[in-house]
A and B are shown apart, each in its own frame.
Chain A
Amino acid sequence: MTQVTTSTLVEVEGMKVHFPIKRGVVLDKTVGYVYAVDGVDLSIRQGETYGLVGESGCGKSTLGRAMLKLTEPTAGKVVFDGVDLSSMKGEPLRTMRRRMQMVFQDPMSSLDPRQSVESLLVEGMRAHGLDKGKESTGRRLRELLSAVGLPSTSLRKYPHEFSGGQRQRIGIARALSVEPDLIVADEPVSALDVSVQAQVINLLEDLQTEFGLTYLVIAHDLAVVRHISDRVGVMYLGGLVEEANSDQIYTEPLHPYTKALMSAVPVPDPVVEDVRERILLAGDLPSPANPPTGCRFHTRCPWRQESRCDTERPALRELAPGHKVACHWAEDIRDGRIRAHEVKPQLTQDDWDTGADDNSLAGPASVTETLGP
């Protein structure tokens, strides 16, 4: 939570990432696509933390990677600090990359086990010409370690000699080593023990204040995302369904999916748990290779209407200042003119080619219900 300015650092427009599904002996036939990210617009302001939340496979990591051009987008553009990255290649892109760093979920697999901490940290600095002599580099390394709370004796050690939380600190130090403006942190704490998660969350907050960083934090845990973010974007099947500031998203979730997600997050307090209303969604997440028509949430939405929901894809629109939602009926739902109803779970077609079977709706009675007081 540094000074959040109004100037935009990253602007994403019409982002699409479609992965081809290949079949055939030499994988020469494209038989379909995984619509991992399918039309996302978002902007991240200088100095803020933008939190991206959603369930497994909804496209969070792919969006993060596409923003940094680690994955080539199928369509759309990314403007970083006023510069369009779309057509950038080679040296200019490499220079630009210094300013955007990534921190990964599993620190063990993202750090080369054969490299010492010193060599891990110096590597990036060297690549970007920041290694300007033994003495200044040595000073910089000590600064980095102290910033992330590791002892200076760590330099000669190897990743396996550290605990999970310490390895995550090394990953963060590595990202910091090249003095970036933006850090994309993909599930930075989900591999860590609860007691250690908080250490890393606090560290990320401190570093932001100290170095004026801008964060995109990707996580599946809404409580973590809410805690750390100024603004939150909720993703479902490749698209943003709601965007609001961290308090609004909790006090007034507008999208039916956000409501369900919020109600499903357990709260470590029996008093709260006993009286909470829970919106249980029916069935599974549909496959991103075969997304539902219209509103992607319509197969599970307890507020689904006869018209529009299954035919017309709702655009993200601003309902209140800074609060955007992609639902045709958001106002009616908010004002209570539309009530939640039962939903029968539908079979999800796991892959593009299992679709020959009937898409039967025959299922058990609804599991959408309210477990009220």
Chain B
Amino acid sequence: MALLEVRDLSVVFKRKGEEPFTAVDGVSFDVEPGQTVGLVGESGCGKSVTSMAIMGLLAKRGVKVSGSAKFDGTELLTLSDKQMRDRRGQELGMVFQDPLSSLNPVISIGLQVAEVIERHRGLSRKEASVQAAELLDKVGIPDPKRRLSEYPHQLSGGMRQRALIAIALACRPRLLIADEPTTALDVTIQAQILALLAELVKETDTALIMITHDLGVVAGLCDEVNVLYGGRVVERAGRHDLFRVPRHPYTHGLLASIPRLDAPRGERLSPIRGSVADNIPWTQGCAFAPRCPNAIDTCVEVTPAMEPDPVVAGERLLRCHNPVEPADRVEQEILT
């Protein structure tokens, strides 16, 4: 049994007078201790809603969550608010894209970290403060003792994100969900934060769910990658397999449309045509069909299921009637 087992997770939003909207549609994945699992996809594909559902952070009204999310054998989706809050501080940590909105603006950074330590480890305020300074130091905040008394608005974006990571770590979570933790940061600061997260996973055996739209970040950090499209996972594979032989037309299209830093100048990009506005409902076939260069008749008649890749070896699951053929010799090597 994995540390976190998500099965068939669905989230439907229903506002008065509007059609119900399915943001997450039967998502399943596992996370083991010390493993980094990526959820990747474009804006609106359901990454954040997935993580908020697991963490019990979605509003109760107008939202229907179904399926299962078991943490160490315990079903999270049916826990009471209070039980969930306790776990969130203790075993489950979360880091968001915008650290300013998740830090309390009128409480000093030191106190925010110390409070968490106090609450979860039963230490005195004084002991907790010492530990808080140690934690800030560990996440790379210069002069941590002085920073303890500063307020969130006095820190730069990168420092705030470090503070938030320090708070998430204060309770020594066994699972950390990082939702676009570096998207708002400059690339040199992003590199610092990613190195910090990688080190933590390695040192403390924390399980990490890394949510990002950046395939470059995924390539460097995640052991296993789930590619989401329109609320469903469409391809899952280990990072080397996924990038070496992207089989789903959407994954393939994404990779072909990103300018790579190391690509020779002048190579033309191959964009995916249209936009997510062109999607058809999953109930009518494959949501990606209107944009898919591989689409065949079946695609708008039968909804593809998530199945093991019939051609390429390795632990890969695919939701596609007509996957991209592995092209060149390198790719042939890993064929069965």
Chain A residues in 8 Å Cβ range of B154: 350
Chain B residues in 8 Å Cβ range of A55: 186-188
Chain B residues in 8 Å Cβ range of A347: 142-143, 146
Q: Would A270 and B243 be within 8 Å (CB), given that A226-B259, A262-B261 are in contact?
A: yes
> A260 vs B154: C-alpha distance in the bound complex, in angstroms?
26
Chain A residues in 8 Å Cβ range of B269: 198, 201-202, 227
Chain A residues in 8 Å Cβ range of B213: 193-194
> A179 vs B277: C-alpha distance in the bound complex, in angstroms?
31
Q: B78 an interface residue at 8 Å Cβ cutoff?
A: no
Chain A contact-residue range equals 35 or more
Q: B101 an interface residue at 8 Å Cβ cutoff?
A: no
Chain A residues in 8 Å Cβ range of B138: 364
**Residue from A194, A221, A271, A362 with most neighbouring chain B CB atoms (10 Å):** A194
Scan B235-273; emit 1 where CB is below 8 A from any A CB, else 0. Answer: 000011001100000000111111111111111111111
Question: In the bound complex, do residue B192 and residue A362 qualify as a contact, i.e. CB atoms below 8 Å apart?
Answer: no
Binds B, one of A120-128, A278-286, A334-342: A278-286
Question: In the bound complex, do residue A266 and residue B254 qualify as a contact, i.e. CB atoms below 8 Å apart?
Answer: no
When C-beta atoms are compared, the residue in chain A nearest to B264 turns out to be A247
**Residue from A280, A344, A346, A371 with most neighbouring chain B CB atoms (10 Å):** A280
Q: B276 an interface residue at 8 Å Cβ cutoff?
A: yes
State how many angstroms separate the Cβ of B329 from the closest Cβ of chain A.
15
Chain A residues in 8 Å Cβ range of B158: 284
Scan A339-373; emit 1 where CB is below 8 A from any B CB, else 0. Answer: 00000111110100000010010111001000100
Q: A267 an interface residue at 8 Å Cβ cutoff?
A: yes
Chain A residues in 8 Å Cβ range of B266: 1
Chain B residues in 8 Å Cβ range of A2: none
Q: Would A266 and B259 be within 8 Å (CB), given that A195-B42, A198-B270, A284-B159 are in contact?
A: no
Q: A8 an interface residue at 8 Å Cβ cutoff?
A: no
Chain A residues in 8 Å Cβ range of B124: none
For window 218-244 of B, CB contacts with A under 8 Å fall at 218-220, 239-240, 243-244
For window 288-345 of A, CB contacts with B under 8 Å fall at 344-345
Q: B43 an interface residue at 8 Å Cβ cutoff?
A: yes
Q: Would A198 and B186 be within 8 Å (CB), given that A268-B243, A348-B156, A367-B192 are in contact?
A: no
**Residue from B156, B254, B261, B270 with most neighbouring chain A CB atoms (10 Å):** B261
Question: In the bound complex, do residue A266 and residue B142 qualify as a contact, i.e. CB atoms below 8 Å apart?
Answer: no
State how many angstroms separate the Cβ of A284 from the closest Cβ of chain B.
5
State how many angstroms separate the Cβ of A203 from the closest Cβ of chain B.
9
Question: In the bound complex, do residue A226 and residue B265 qualify as a contact, i.e. CB atoms below 8 Å apart?
Answer: yes
Scan B267-290; emit 1 where CB is below 8 A from any A CB, else 0. Answer: 111111101110000000000000
Question: In the bound complex, do residue B43 and residue A264 qualify as a contact, i.e. CB atoms below 8 Å apart?
Answer: no
> A202 vs B270: C-alpha distance in the bound complex, in angstroms?
9
Question: In the bound complex, do residue B271 and residue A367 qualify as a contact, i.e. CB atoms below 8 Å apart?
Answer: no
Q: Which of B42, B137, B144, B240 contacts A194 (CB 8 A)?
A: B42
State how many angstroms separate the Cβ of B149 from the closest Cβ of chain A.
12
Question: In the bound complex, do residue B219 and residue A270 qualify as a contact, i.e. CB atoms below 8 Å apart?
Answer: yes
Q: B195 an interface residue at 8 Å Cβ cutoff?
A: yes
Chain A residues in 8 Å Cβ range of B253: 195
Question: In the bound complex, do residue B192 and residue A198 qualify as a contact, i.e. CB atoms below 8 Å apart?
Answer: no
> A345 vs B158: C-alpha distance in the bound complex, in angstroms?
13
When C-beta atoms are compared, the residue in chain A nearest to B240 turns out to be A270
Q: A31 an interface residue at 8 Å Cβ cutoff?
A: no
Question: In the bound complex, do residue B187 and residue A261 qualify as a contact, i.e. CB atoms below 8 Å apart?
Answer: yes
Question: In the bound complex, do residue A193 and residue B275 qualify as a contact, i.e. CB atoms below 8 Å apart?
Answer: yes
Q: Would A246 and B140 be within 8 Å (CB), given that A199-B271, A269-B243 are in contact?
A: no
Question: In the bound complex, do residue B216 and residue A265 qualify as a contact, i.e. CB atoms below 8 Å apart?
Answer: yes
Chain A residues in 8 Å Cβ range of B258: 194, 197-198, 223, 268
Scan B122-145; emit 1 where CB is below 8 A from any A CB, else 0. Answer: 000000000000000110111110
Question: In the bound complex, do residue A363 and residue B142 qualify as a contact, i.e. CB atoms below 8 Å apart?
Answer: yes
Q: Which of B146, B188, B216, B220 contacts A260 (CB 8 A)?
A: B188
When C-beta atoms are compared, the residue in chain A nearest to B189 turns out to be A284
Q: Which of A195, A266, A284 contacts B220 (CB 8 A)?
A: A266
Chain A residues in 8 Å Cβ range of B254: 194-195
Question: In the bound complex, do residue B42 and residue A350 qualify as a contact, i.e. CB atoms below 8 Å apart?
Answer: no
**Which 9 residue pairs spanning A and B have beta carbons closest together?**
A266-B216, A363-B142, A227-B259, A198-B271, A198-B257, A264-B191, A273-B220, A268-B215, A195-B272
**Contacts A221-B187, A264-B187, A350-B154 known; 18 new A-B pairs at CB < 8 A:** A195-B257, A195-B272, A198-B259, A199-B273, A223-B258, A226-B259, A250-B261, A261-B188, A264-B191, A266-B214, A266-B220, A267-B261, A268-B215, A269-B260, A270-B243, A280-B192, A284-B158, A363-B142
23 A-B pairs within 8 Å (CB atoms) are namely: A193-B276, A194-B42, A194-B258, A195-B271, A198-B270, A202-B269, A202-B271, A223-B258, A227-B263, A250-B261, A261-B188, A262-B261, A265-B187, A266-B216, A266-B217, A266-B219, A268-B216, A269-B262, A270-B239, A281-B192, A283-B142, A284-B189, A362-B143
